[in-house]
């Protein structure tokens, strides 16, 4: 990654896919600054994402998210973990396609349910039937993740360390392929 002309890695994927957890570890391995888009937005506004949803609705949140994504994509040598719904906005998909390497972290609904079992903060999970909600989100968003992704990655049941190493290896291979294609 150090010799790559693209010094931005962007992780997309559904909630619970590991964008933040895996992203932090991979950024450290690759010597990149890690930035979670939602955390950056919370720091900028001084309120949690769930509160923004409560006050401004999803549309207001998505507008803020787009502005934050624009800011973050101006940075160099970063790994950015986006929110799960970032791809639902056409402007964001255009931004992502023009950015560095976009990695779609894939996961199953069953794995999401396990990982998010104790999570009560995510506005889109505030429903009686979480499985159904996650299945609906996957049906709507998976084609959008595929549209923007340069690389698809599934950590599966690997440990955090194994998943991070596998993703770092996949990115190294992707970078070599991308550089070779430019020759």
Q: Are 109 and 131 in contact (CB under 8 A)?
A: yes
**Residue 6 is encoded by which pair of tokens?**
């693209």
pLDDT of residue 3: 41
Q: Is residue 81 scored above 90 in pLDDT? A: yes
Mean pLDDT computed over 159-183: 71
pLDDT confidence of 157, banded at 50, 70, 90?
confident
Predicted pLDDT of residue 123: 60
What value does the mean pLDDT take over residues 97-101? 91
Phi, psi of 78 (to 5 degrees): -130, 155
Cβ-contact 13, 175 below 8 angstroms: no
- Distance of alpha carbon 124 from alpha carbon 138, whole angstroms: 13
CATH 3.90.380.10 fits 8-172, yes or no: no
CA-to-CA separations, 155 to 105, 111, 162, in angstroms, rounded: 8, 11, 8
pLDDT digits (tens, 9 = 90+) for 120-140: 676 666 677 888 988 999 999
Tens digits of per-residue pLDDT, 9-44?
Answer: 999 999 888 899 999 999 999 999 999 999 999 999
- Burial (CB < 10 A; 0-12, 13-18, 19+), residue 180, is exposed
| Contact between 18 and 79 (Cβ < 8 Å) | no
Q: How far apart are CA 164 and CA 11, in angstroms?
A: 13
The 8-class DSSP code of residue 87 comes to G
Of 181, 151, 171, 157, the C-alpha closest to 31 is: 171
pTM of the full predicted structure? 0.86
Tally of CB atoms within 10 A around 39:
13
What separation in angstroms does the CA of 44 have from each of 57, 112, 142, 180?
A: 18, 28, 29, 39
Q: What is the pLDDT of residues 42-52, one digit of tens each?
A: 999 999 988 99
Q: Has residue 159 got a pLDDT over 70?
A: yes
């Amino acid at each position: 990654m150090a010799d790559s002309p693209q010094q931005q890695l962007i992780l997309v994927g559904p909630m619970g896919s590991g964008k933040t957890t895996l992203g932090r570890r991979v950024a450290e391995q690759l010597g990149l600054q890690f930035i979670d888009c939602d955390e950056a937005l919370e720091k900028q506004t001084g309120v949690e994402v769930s509160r923004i949803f409560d006050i401004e609705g999803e549309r207001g949140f998505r507008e803020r998210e787009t502005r934050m994504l624009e800011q973050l994509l101006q940075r160099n040598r970063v790994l950015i973990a986006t929110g799960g719904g970032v791809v639902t906005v056409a402007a964001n998909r255009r931004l992502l396609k023009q950015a560095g390497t976009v990695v779609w972290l894939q996961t199953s609904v069953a794995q999401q349910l396990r990982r998010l079992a104790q999570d009560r903060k995510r506005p889109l999970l505030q429903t009686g039937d979480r499985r159904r909600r996650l299945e609906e989100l996957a049906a709507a968003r998976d084609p959008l993740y595929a549209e923007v992704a340069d690389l698809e990655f599934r950590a599966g049941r690997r440990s955090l360390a194994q998943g991070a190493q596998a993703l770092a290896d996949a990115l190294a291979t992707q970078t070599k392929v991308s550089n070779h294609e430019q020759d």
